[in-house]
Structure 1
């Protein structure tokens, strides 16, 4: 019986060794060195711009020969913190986070830094300072959008603003930028403002309510992202008001560019998903290897109208 127990133990140990060797071989590069593993938690994979950023991260990770594990936080900061905890437990080499909220996602940054794992925030910010931030100045994006409205309305008229997910950095900063321009142009009145939560269907429903309340009093709508902007356009078209109301949004996703081409969306503000995604992975890899990297990367926004649309269409 004792001999049988020893044999069983040896057999089990051999199986475990075999499993471990198999796992390690999958994580090795062609030259025998271990592949770097990066964990990525994204705000919402139901959002087209976020998906575009994630796709670029995947492409860059493949190019650099690193393994990328991507999870969807589904707009939940609590879930995002738990996902970062899971990455830490897995022993990843670096983490890229597309934060759900400025405050509520901040504990994830501290957890990673306490575990001595570099964490890169992409596209959106947290109060807690990460290892590196890669994104754009959202205040500037709103200034660009609102200045376009000022120009089109001649500095006078009633404007409605549709917010993104409340508490997220982009929503907070785009609100700030828009309010700066409104304050500088007293001829513009903010008729109403509410959150459409970055969602096309919710934006359409919200716009239908605004049409019922204000009708032709509305001169322009600033939607803080294209998904909402396209929902606004659809509702205004159904009400027969699109030709009378200016609509501007942010991101320049493919659907929005086509809407600008058709003339249903007056303008969008281009945010470079490709550069944000690829640079986030580059910084994560450099930080994991102990190499020099940029602490902050700000990629400029650009106004897109029919006049310069050809520069952005693929």
Structure 2
């Protein structure tokens, strides 16, 4: 009876050795075997995230890379399971668009422990990945709030609609906005709450604030365009849009149209194309043992009625 576990152990070691050899082979053959990359995205219900995923797919196709793309549906727990599944499938690299700073960090730790390179795209974790491709979200919050400060002459009441609480973009965009608020004593943050990146939720929040504060509201800063568009709709329905400055982030097509029409005052352009394509390029460099940048920050840009034409496709 005692010999059975040792036989099983030997078989397991043999299979593990074959699996490792197979993984190493795909990385060392100079691209003869197809490189396989697992991709876990925060939410395919979010237009900007979909744009990043599309760019990853487009670039992967160009480079002859096989992708396994999954939707974490905003669940960090699901995301960790997806990364574990990628490791079990023997992928060459993982690209993760983290759901949360802390709660998605174990996924990074698991990948690194399994010697699988992991690249965070668009959003950060507290655990340090092999590489990070995205933008400095603190900068986007500063740009948006500075625009509001200039438009209001440094005085007025602001409401802020947060993204999904605990996600890097939410934390950092709030940080950037509050840095600017602290420079203008005349600017008051009278209310702030999460709209969870969602247009309908942000519209409902804004309707509630209109009930509570009415004409006291001078500006709205929404952490993304989906929520900015929800705020614009609520203000428009209440006949208040002309009196309130609304700024959001991402420069999705809907928002660019709204800036052109003048219903949304400004958006902050975040480059989905560069984030997506550079994430897959970095993954391939790592797999092939080529030099790569551990951090790539794509700059944000303010988009107003004056320059919106440059950003419209």
Same fold (TM over 0.5): yes
Structure 1 residues 292-311: aligned runs within 5 Å: 292-311=291-310
Aligned to 2:263, the other structure's residue is in SS state coil
1:249 alignment partner in structure 2: 248
**Counterpart-to-counterpart distance in 1, 2:188 and 2:205:** 19
Query: What TM-score do you get using the length of structure 1 for normalisation?
Result: 0.90
1:78 aligns with 2:70: no
CA distance in 1, matches of 2:155, 2:31: 66
Q: CA 1:184 to 1:131, structure 2 compared with 1: closer, same or farther past 3 Å?
A: same
Root-mean-square deviation (Å): 1.1
Structure 2 unmatched runs, 5+: 1-25
1:99 paired residue number: 98
SS of residue in 2 equivalent to 1:111: helix
The C-alpha deviation readout for 1:201-248, integer Å capped at 9, x for no partner, is 100011110000000000000000000000000111111110110000
Deviations 1:127-171 (A, max 9, x none): 000000000000000100000000000000000000000000000
Alignment size in residue pairs: 285
Distance between the aligned counterparts of 2:90 and 2:264, measured in 1? 46
Separation (CA, whole Å) in 2 of partners of 1:296 and 1:130: 10
- State how 1:120-139 maps to structure 2 within 5 Å: 120-139=119-138
Where structure 1 has 5 or more consecutive residues not aligned to the other structure, the ranges are 1-26
SS in 2 for 1:213: helix
C-alpha displacement of 1:91: 0.2
> What is the rounded CA distance, in whole Å, between the counterparts of 2:113 and 2:71 in structure 1?
23
Q: Deviations over 1:39-62 (max 9, x none)?
A: 000000000000000000000000
Structure 1 partner of 2:7:
none
Instruction: Output one character per residue of 1:93-149: Cα deviation in whole Å (capped at 9) or x when no partner.
Output: 000000000000000000000110000000000000000000000000010000000
Residue equivalent to 1:5: none
Q: Give the aligned partner of residue 149 of structure 1.
A: 148
Question: Using the alignment, how far apart are the partners of 2:88 and 2:31 within structure 1?
Answer: 24
Rounded Cα–Cα distance in structure 1 between residues aligned with 2:75 and 2:89? 21
Q: State the distance in 2 between where 1:174 and 1:56 align.
A: 24
Give the drift of 1:33: 2.3
